[in-house]
Amino acid sequence: MSEHHQNSKVSSCCSSGKSIKSQEKSWLGNPQMRMTVLCGTALGLAYIIGFLIPSLEDIAFLVALAVGLVPIMRRAYDGARQGNPFTIEMLMTIAATGAFFIGATQEAAMVVLLFLIGELLEGIATRKANASIQALAALIPKTAFLEQDGTTSEVLAETLSIGSVILVRPGDRVAADGEIIEGESAIDEAPVTGESVPKKKKTGDVVFAGTINGDGVLRIRVTASASDNTIARIIKLVEEAQESKSPTERFITRFSRYYTPAVLLLGFSVAVIPPLFMGESWYEWIYKGLAILLIGCPCALVISTPAAIAAGLAAGARRGLLMKGGAVLENLRSVTHVALDKTGTITEGKPVVTDVIALGRTEPDILSLAAAIETGSSHPLALAIVARAKAAQVNIPIASDSKAIAGKGVSGSVADQTVYLYSPSAAQKVAPLSLDQISKIELLNDEGKTVSVLLVDGEIAGLLAIRDEPRADALEGLKALRDAGIVTLMLTGDNQRTADAIGRSMGISEIYAHMMPEDKQAIIQKLQSSGFIVAKIGDGINDAPALAAADIGIAMGGGTDVALETADAAILHGRVLDIINMISLSKKVMENIHQNIVISLGLKVVFLITTIAGITGLWPAILADTGATVLVTANAMRLLRWRGRIS
């Protein structure tokens, strides 16, 4: 292959390596289409002229041959001038020119046309893989409703800056990545993630550009510029990844450098040795030698890997699975251990109130009073309590003299009542807890929950338990990993009791708590020294050393922005189930590559034998090569239909 072809984004050996922009041109503006139509027209005219004026038949077919062959010869010359003479174009030039000199001009012209048709079909399949990613860009609306100085105006979406506030009406597409600051709605993320069920989102939740707002009006604060939103980064990452060769692809490329000269030598030997040393017909064996050159074209073999890699990267990106290159996609299939952070990876990363236990007041009273003295605080536990009160639609009265008390909790006055929300140890000093109450608190603590005691005028009113809950698909996702024979580990900086509570409920094999960043890195290196292949899943920030040390670092959740710069891969939409999806996609891609290699080499062996035996000639030879190229490309394109497991 020429360097030009090797550096093509989809590494096509038979296409001219056009950029995505040129691939998006209409067929009439496509050089491959123009050349194929021109060559086909010239060949058709040659048949007509040969029928009407037999004396001009040879000249007509020579012109038809020249129309298709001259551009191919130019590309062969360019490859040779760049230091790579052993290209598909060079093989085609030698075979077609040789056919002309032995009087097989008609066959040579048809061979060139079939070659151009093969290039065209491959180019169409290649564009389909790229179009599946480029189509994402069309999801982002051109305009947005910007709120500024108390007025709303329609502006170009590309002019939105970070911090701008936009209004998104029901049914509209979200124009930018952002955070909801007002409103609640069901967001259809299917265009970006493939999820069929809209996701309920409220104030504080993140939304992605290109998703569709459901039934509520939303005010959104923009968090990323147009050039840096989720879809733009997906497109950029996939384009860069397609340029990064996988180990298999690098091997095939090296192999083709030796394979192509070997084919030339074999063709020459077949053409020369039988006539020279065995008295065979020169015409017959030169013809066979030329056919072998066509059979030996490494087009299908070389396209077999990059086509599958490109399709796999595209399919993964459509599901929010971003991988930095073919090497990452290929190596994921070998993972034996998956080490996960807890907060923001296995869990949502946002504490929620899980239990409200009434001891002296009703549950609504407890939520109402607790939310009253926590209103205005930015502490995660305070936000969880206020959110729970709003969700329960209880009245939140106005509190006075609210203040945080170091080491104890918060206090305030509500309707002439003194209200405290203390830790159990601090509450015990105000109003002694009964054995039954202590037992309830211990039970909640064992479940990894943080317990606060509500006291009203010095009397215990109730308990509030708060925990960062596991993601909705965490249990299913971790079970899928275990079912695949992969060992799961939790590496968390949280305390042992909380880590055990979450880890045991999720069925995690090994649990490590009180982990500093360097401790996580040390555990991963220890596993690697034992010969295991480790994938580390984390937020990409405090897990950076471990992500870097792992064979494959995968960022998920709050650290996704950092992941796009530092990790090997990223799970954009925070699903634990997507870890096994990423590994499964890797296995599916490698299975596809192996199928493609068998197809491309298998057809060559069959037609090599039949050509030497005199059963097939030039036409079947080029049909076999073109057919193999189309088959492996079409087989790779099947990966675009991959959807993975959805919880």
CB neighbours of 98 closer than 8 A, spacing ≥ 6?
286, 289, 290, 293
Q: Write the DSSP symbol of residue 342.
A: I
Q: Write the DSSP symbol of residue 509.
A: S
Give, in order, the Cα–Cα distances in Å from 216 to each of 153, 176, 197, 208: 19, 17, 16, 16
Backbone angles phi, psi at 106, to 5 degrees: -60, -45
Q: What are the structure tokens assigned to 206, written together?
A: 């993140």
Q: What share of the chain is helix, strand, coil (3-state, %, to 5)?
A: 55, 20, 25
Distance CA(358)–CA(460), nearest Å, equals 9
Q: Label residue 343 left, alpha or beta by phi (over 0 means left) and psi (-120 to 50 means alpha).
A: beta
Distance CA(325)–CA(303), nearest Å, equals 16
Within a 10 A sphere around the Cβ of 158, how many other Cβ atoms?
A: 14
Q: Where are the alpha helices (DSSP H) in 296-360?
A: 299-318, 326-331
H/E stretch holding 497: helix 496-506
Does residue 550 contact residue 534 with C-beta atoms inside 8 Å?
yes
Q: What are the structure tokens assigned to 29, written together?
A: 């503006």
Distance CA(575)–CA(582), nearest Å, equals 11
N-term to C-term CA, the chain: 44
Q: What are the structure tokens assigned to 549, written together?
A: 């040390």
Q: What dihedral do alpha carbons 134, 135, 141, 142 form, nearest 10°?
A: 50
Q: What are the structure tokens assigned to 452, written together?
A: 């606060």
Residue from 256, 248, 253, 254 nearest 328 by CA:
248
CB neighbours of 29 closer than 8 A, spacing ≥ 6?
none
Does residue 289 contact residue 299 with C-beta atoms inside 8 Å?
no
Burial of 148 from C-beta contacts in 10 A (0-12 / 13-18 / 19+): exposed
**Ordered DSSP codes for 23-56:** HTS-GGG-HHHHHHHHHHHHHHHHHHHHHH-GGG
Active site residue 539: no
Using the structure block, give the residue that is written with the tokens 């010869």: 73
Residue from 298, 243, 329 nearest 587 by CA:
329
Give, in order, the Cα–Cα distances in Å from 203 to each of 146, 168, 220, 245, 383: 18, 14, 9, 42, 12
Distance CA(567)–CA(554), nearest Å, equals 6
Give the chain's radius of gyration (CA, Å): 33
Distance CA(617)–CA(114), nearest Å, equals 14
| 166: β partners | 146, 220
Residue from 177, 188, 341, 578 carrying the catalytic annotation: 341
Q: Which residues are known to be catalytic?
A: 341
